């Protein structure tokens, strides 16, 4: 069965109008609520009468549930919801540091962390160890403590520093 590309909404496929094969459908009207269980032909007739699409929203129940909606408008609103939910969720920014870094480099990283936290993002600090530096893990833990002291009351550790391979990672969130 070939599927219509236009019937995919945010990764989910919706059968519309003649693609619906169930003999009986529980039909939901946009304003009036449930119309009850109708035959497929009655439901299609009602959709044509209202100049709307018959969209199967719950195909796995008995009988399947179908809504009378404007499918193009439905697709638009679903895309809008997804876009809005993406904007609302905080992203995680990652900053890489070295256990033995100069003061100016440290200050630049602190400014970036402050900027990320102010915009509502979380910050993952990754202290990377190269070569024999891995034997001096204490300096990595000290660096994260120094970062937290510098940030003061603006931020807190969401997760304690942990070693992941040759890197020490900690997650910082705004208070």
Outline which parts of the chain fall under CATH 3.30.110.10.
90-174
Read off the pLDDT of residues 27-82 as tens digits, 9 standing for 90 and up.
988 788 888 888 888 888 888 888 898 888 888 888 889 989 888 888 888 888 87
Read off the pLDDT of residues 75-84 as tens digits, 9 standing for 90 and up.
888 888 877 7
Query: First CA to last CA across the chain, in angstroms?
Result: 53
Residue whose entry in the numeric block shows the structure tokens 């009850």: 36
Q: What percent of the chain has pLDDT over 70?
A: 91
Residue whose entry in the numeric block shows the structure tokens 């989910």: 12
CB 29 within 8 A of CB 35: yes
CB 95 within 8 A of CB 128: no
Read off the pLDDT of residues 103-123 as tens digits, 9 standing for 90 and up.
999 999 999 999 999 988 899
Outline which parts of the chain fall under CATH 3.10.20.80.
5-85
Q: Residue 119: is it exposed, middle or buried by C-beta count within 10 angstroms (0-12/13-18/19+)?
A: exposed
The three-state secondary structure class of 93 is strand
The hierarchical CATH code for the domain 5-85 is 3.10.20.80
Right CATH for 90-174 from 3.40.50.970, 1.10.3720.10, 1.10.1040.20, 3.30.110.10: 3.30.110.10
Q: What is the pTM of this model?
A: 0.52
């Amino acid at each position: 069965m070939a599927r219509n590309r236009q019937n995919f909404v945010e990764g989910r496929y919706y059968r519309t109008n003649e693609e619906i094969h169930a003999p009986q459908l529980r039909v939901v009207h946009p304003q009036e609520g449930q119309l009850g269980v109708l035959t497929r032909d009655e439901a299609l007739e009602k959709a044509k009468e209202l100049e709307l699409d018959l969209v199967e929203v719950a195909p796995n129940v008995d009988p399947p549930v179908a809504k009378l909606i404007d499918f193009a408008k439905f697709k638009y609103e679903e895309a809008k919801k997804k876009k809005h939910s993406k904007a609302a969720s905080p992203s995680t920014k990652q900053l890489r540091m070295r256990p033995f870094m100069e003061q100016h480099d440290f200050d630049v990283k602190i400014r970036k962390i402050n900027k990320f936290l102010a915009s509502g993002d979380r910050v993952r600090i990754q202290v990377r160890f190269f070569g024999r530096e891995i034997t001096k893990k204490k300096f990595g833990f000290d660096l994260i403590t120094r970062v937290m002291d510098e940030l003061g009351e603006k931020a807190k550790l969401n997760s304690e520093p942990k070693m992941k391979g040759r890197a020490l990672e900690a997650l910082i969130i705004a208070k």
